[in-house]
Amino acid sequence: MQLEVAKNDAGSNAVIKISTEAEAITREAEVAASIDRSNLYMSLGALLVAPATAEHCQVLRDLPEIETPETSMEVAWTLLRKSASQCSTDQIDDEYHRLFIGLGRGEIVPYGSWHLTGFLMEKPLGRLRADLRKLGFERNEDVAESEDHIASLCQAMAAIILAEEIDFETEREFFNEHIASWAEGFFKALQESTSAEFYRAVGLLGESFIDVEKKYLSMAL
């Protein structure tokens, strides 16, 4: 009987060890996924905050070639790589200003408040500012754009994902409230614009990524 108990104890210890190793592997995978997601948000933010520079285009041209893209995101990266090779920085600059700035207003408004209410500087922006303050973010006074600009939201989400003090539920709530509620429509409009060439690929990348994020953040962890 004592020998049998000893075997059970040994087995129990083995299970605990294996379980601990499995948890470490799972945690490592979660950290890697968080870094990838944060980087993608930062990439979208960089593409949307200002016209792509020559250095930025070179980074896109140097992306690994996907010979047979299968997912929409792979197609988006392939198109973005191709567009960065075909479009000059002057063309991209002109396209950016036509789409997002224009004379008074561009073809596509990149602000969440406008998409949610039809007006700028409305209640959604106030709620966003309150939530950002709760999370410890402060407005950069050197930035002219309001916090509900799509680029600013992508940058905020990138930081939220990597912030150890912000839990998954808070991350999900921020995404659903301030990004998922309108960003997909913004990226679809970007793809449908007749003025878009380089930014059509950005629109596909954004729409595809938002769809993936919705599925990921809907999981109960």
Q: What is the pLDDT of residues 152-194, one digit of tens each?
A: 999 999 999 999 999 999 999 999 999 999 999 999 999 999 9
Query: Is pLDDT of 115 > 50?
Result: yes
The secondary structure of the chain as a DSSP string is -HHHHHHHHHHHHHHHHHHHHHHHHHHHHHHHHHHHHHHHHHHHHHHHHSPPPHHHHHHHHTSPP-SS--SHHHHHHHHHHHHHHHS-HHHHHHHHHHHHTSSSS-SS--BHHHHHHSSSS-HHHHHHHHHHHHTT----TT--S-TTBHHHHHHHHHHHHH-TTS-HHHHHHHHHHHTTTTHHHHHHHHHH-TT-SHHHHHHHHHHHHHHHHHHHHTS--
* Structural domains of the chain in order of their starting residue, each with its CATH number: 2-217 (1.10.3480.10)
Which pLDDT belongs to residue 21? 53
Residue 49 vs residues 29, 65, 93: alpha-carbon distances, Å: 30, 25, 12
Which pLDDT belongs to residue 93? 96
pLDDT band at 8 (very low <50, low <70, confident <90, very high): very low
Q: Which residues pair with 111 in a beta bridge?
A: 149
Whole-number average pLDDT of the chain: 86
Closest by CA to 197, choosing from 79, 57, 75, is: 79
Query: Is pLDDT of 214 > 60?
Result: yes
Which has more pLDDT, 33 or 103?
Answer: 33
Q: What is the pLDDT of residues 56-106, one digit of tens each?
A: 999 999 988 888 888 888 999 999 999 999 999 999 999 999 999 977 788
Query: Is pLDDT of 200 > 70?
Result: yes
